[in-house]
Structure 1
Amino acid sequence: MHPELNAALSPLLADLQVPSGVAPTVGDREWQDDPGAASCWLHSPDGTGMGVWIQTGQPFTTQVLALAEQVQEWAVEALWKLERPASWPACPHHPDRHPLSAREHDGQAVWVCPVLDTKVAVIGALADFRIRRRHLRRRT
């Protein structure tokens, strides 16, 4: 796998390990013909796959954000096929209402609640996020 793609995909693969996520099998086969792109396949538990890609030579945060949208699309489809809640990553402030959105914040790729416009976690650190019930009650 191209080193830039591997680096940008790693935080998203870590986030897919949260209990509400689903882990893909990553296929190392390139599918993009563009010499300025790097690509691979994400395979669902049922064996279906979706290609993801980045433009090489771009800032790391830009690459992570580009992949976040693609990985989120893959995860929603994979979770739906498993008959699990397909809102990934689920917003801890509004469970079962909407997924988090990927955005840039202070130069980092982060997951935010799109309703509150509040940073939840840096992409790649979703498993480390713990919301306190007291905080959750105040925000809903």
Structure 2
Amino acid sequence: MNPELDAALTPLLADLQVPDGVVPIVDDTEWQDEPGAASCWLHSPDGTGTGVWVQTGQPFPAQVLALADQVQQWAVEALWKLNRPASWPACPHHPDRHPLAARAHGAEAVWSCPVLDEKVSTIGSLRSSRSL
């Protein structure tokens, strides 16, 4: 796998490990053939796959944010297919109402409550922030 893609995907894979998450099978087969793009596949427990990608050479937080939206879409669909609550990652301030949103907060990529516009966790540290 491309090292930039691997680095940007790693914190999101960690966040998918929370109790309300779902963990993909990562297939490092490239599917994006645009210059400067790195890609892989995320496979759901049912075997279906979704391609995710980043633009190489971009700042790390920007790559994480770009992947966060793609991984979040994959997770919502995978959870729905498992008949589980599909609001991932769930907002600790408003459970069962809406998911957290990936946003830039200074120089870092974070999960934030879109209603309160409040940082909940740095992307990659969701498990440790679940004590809210």
The structure with the larger Rg is: 1
1:30 maps to amino acid: E
Give the counterpart letter for 1:119 in structure 2.
Answer: K
Could you tell me which amino acid in structure 1 is paired with residue 58 of structure 2? Q
The answer for the alignment partner of 1:74 in structure 2 is 74
Alpha-carbon distance between aligned partners in 2 of 1:33 and 1:104, rounded to the nearest angstrom: 27
TM-score, normalising length: structure 2: 0.99
The residue aligned with 1:4 is 4
Equivalent residue, structure 2, for 1:89:
89
Aligned partner of 1:136 in structure 2 is: none
1:5-41 alpha-carbon deviations (Å, 9 max, x no partner): 0000000000000000000000010000112100000
**Equivalent-residue separation in structure 1 for 2:95 and 2:46 (angstroms):** 26
Tell me the secondary structure at the aligned position of residue 104 of structure 2.
strand
Moved over 6 A (4+): none
Q: RMSD of the TM alignment (CA)? A: 0.4
Aligned to 2:51: 51
**Equivalent-residue separation in structure 2 for 1:111 and 1:2 (angstroms):** 25
Quote the residue 2:19 is aligned against. Answer: 19
Q: Which digits, 9 at most, give the CA deviation of each residue in 1:101-131, with x for residues without a partner? A: 0001020000000000110000000000010
**2:99 paired with 1:99:** yes
Q: Percent identity?
A: 76
Distance 2:55 2:118 in 1: 28
1:116 counterpart = 2:116: yes
**CA separation in 2, counterparts of 1:19 and 1:70?**
20
Count of residues in Structure 1 that have an aligned counterpart in Structure 2:
131
Question: 1:28 and 1:47 mapped to 2: Cα distance?
Answer: 15
How far apart are the structure 2 equivalents of 1:87 and 1:67? 17
CA distance in structure 1 between the partners assigned to 2:107 and 2:36 by the alignment: 23
Runs of 5+ consecutive residues of structure 1 not aligned to the other structure: 132-140
What's the TM-score, normalizing by structure 1? 0.93
**d(CA) in 2 for partners of 1:87, 1:25:** 20
- In 1, the alpha carbon distance for the partners of 2:3 and 2:11 equals 14
The SS at the match of 1:39 is strand
Within 2, Cα distance between the matches of 1:42 and 1:35?
A: 21
Which runs of 5 or more residues in structure 2 are unaligned? none
